[in-house]
Amino acid sequence: MTPMPRFGNDFSWGVATSAFQIEGALTEDGRGRSIWDAFVDTPGKIRDDHIADTACDHYRRSDEDVALMKNLGVDVYRFSIAWPRVVPAGSGPINARGLDFYDRLVDTLLAAGIRPMPTLYHWDLPQELEDHGGWLSRSTAHHFADYTRAVVERLGDRVHDWITLNEPFEHMSLGYGLGIHAPGHTMGMAALPAAHHQLLAHGLATEVLRETGAERIMLANSYSPAQSAENGPGDANAAAAFDTLHHALFTDPVLLGRYPDLAAFNVDVSTLECIRDGDLATIAQPIDGLGVNYYAPTRLTAPDQGAALPFHVADFDDVTKTDFGWPVIPSGLTQALVDLTGKYGTHLPPLWITENGCSHHVEQGVDGTVDDSARIDYIDGHLRALRTAIDLGADVRGYLVWSLLDNFEWAEGYHQRFGLVHVDPETRDRVPKASFGWYSDMIAEQRR
């Protein structure tokens, strides 16, 4: 293999996780219920009815996990803060014990020389807010700002990098549009207010963070470049429509202060009642970085007659797939970054790869090792693709692998394993995989 190109001394290396996927301890220290607690409790929602009561037991093993990251040699750790731990009912009383956990985690990270990069919301909405409409309700955005204030008042003296929300597109589409994720609504395009209210929450939280002197405020969106199958008439339009819904809808308001045209979806944005005067100004205030979560591109063909959406998601043929069935196409990362750079120009803040990785399960060998060479190939290929994007002009400041640990992968339960570290399903013992050693060596090599 040719040596990995260099990314420079200022480039940050890291790993990412999220609260519900790793913490467990769902009833500990006053944590309230979240929509994911309720979803997991609903039979048939999670593959093989896996539960998240213990998940990776990170709530009890956070010291061990920080020690692992120290060995890995990362600069930055992206984790998420569970809103229902901090404000159990979503609004109202603050639970100091919930904040204590993150307070300690931050101190442990800093002592290990790792910069904390918390995400304030990674899909675990307090159930009580869902009972009042969840993200379909405007008040949720205001409650999010109050929760943000509670967190930043406690951690803001030591935490300087913040991510407001994780992947509002997936949360809207899978959670409110299709019912595959919590809270399980199947509203189709009627889920649009969940997009607007999340973006409003991002804007209101950005105001709070800015006021308190945060240095780097970001939003983490997912980017899955739309590739037209180019087999028939209408494929290019399908790709454009997908790009609008997946990307422009969540990036234009933030960076350009306006919504894209949704005519392909038979939606006239100017008539959407959820959008009030002044909202776009709140949403569009300056941010310091844009998080890019990238896994794969999406291939599009024209929809069938009478289909609900103006595109059809098609399969990639003859391409390696991960356990999830996602195609391995590193050039899609180059495309995502080059497209963002070209489209938003001077409106684009520096980019961070806030998630990239693959689901690939390998059993532990008799000697206890986990030889996940496919993960090494995936990350290696994507880092080279990232370097190409930087050479083409993309301003990218950091790269974070999803994920540190094999964890609770939402509706897929523990079936999809993204970790650099194997977590024994019974004992929760951690075993670094081959990819852990590879990533660690690569980071060390970059620093030489």
What does the binding site for ligand FCB look like in residue numbers (CB under 6 A)? 18, 21, 166-167, 170, 222, 293, 355, 402, 409-410, 418
Q: Check: CB of residue 75 under 8 Å from CB of residue 115.
A: yes
| Shortest spacing between CB 409 and ligand FCB, in angstroms | 6
Structure tokens at 428: 């929760």
Ramachandran quadrant class, 184 (left: phi over 0; alpha: psi -120 to 50; beta: rest): left
Rounded Cα gap, residues 437 and 443, in angstroms: 10
Residue 355 or 372: which CB sits closer to ligand FCB?
355
Strand order in the sheet with 312-314: 226-228, 298-301, 312-314
Beta carbon nearer to ligand FCB, 280 or 402: 402
| Residues β-bridged to residue 14 | 76, 400
Residue 137 vs 356, nearer CB to ligand FCB: 356
Tokens of 273: 């009642």
User: Catalytic pick from 355, 412, 426, 445?
Assistant: 355
What are phi and psi for residue 373, nearest 5 degrees?
-65, -30
Q: Which one, 149 or 398, has the nearer CB to ligand FCB?
A: 398
Q: How far is the CB of 209 from ligand FCB (least distance, A)?
A: 20
Contacts of 300 (CB under 8 A, 6+ apart): 226, 227, 228, 229, 235, 238, 239, 241, 242, 311, 312, 313, 314
**Structural contact between residues 160 and 216, judged by C-beta atoms closer than 8 angstroms:** yes
The verdict on whether 426 is a catalytic residue reads no
Please, which residue, 402 or 436, has the CB nearer to ligand FCB?
402
230 is catalytic: no
Residue reference for tokens 């093993």: 61
CB of 396 to ligand FCB, least distance (A): 19
Closer to ligand FCB at the Cβ: 85 or 154? 85
Count the neighbouring beta carbons within 10 Å of the beta carbon of residue 154.
19
Q: Report CA 339 to chain centroid distance, whole Å.
A: 20
Q: Shortest distance, CB of residue 275 to ligand FCB, whole angstroms?
A: 26
Q: Which of 130, 167, 170, 409 is catalytic?
A: 167
Task: Tell me the closest approach of the beta carbon of residue 354 to ligand FCB, in angstroms.
Answer: 9
Least distance between ligand FCB and beta carbon 223 (Å): 11
**Phi/psi-derived region of residue 123, left when phi > 0, alpha when psi is between -120 and 50, beta in every other case:** left
Return the active site residues: 167, 355
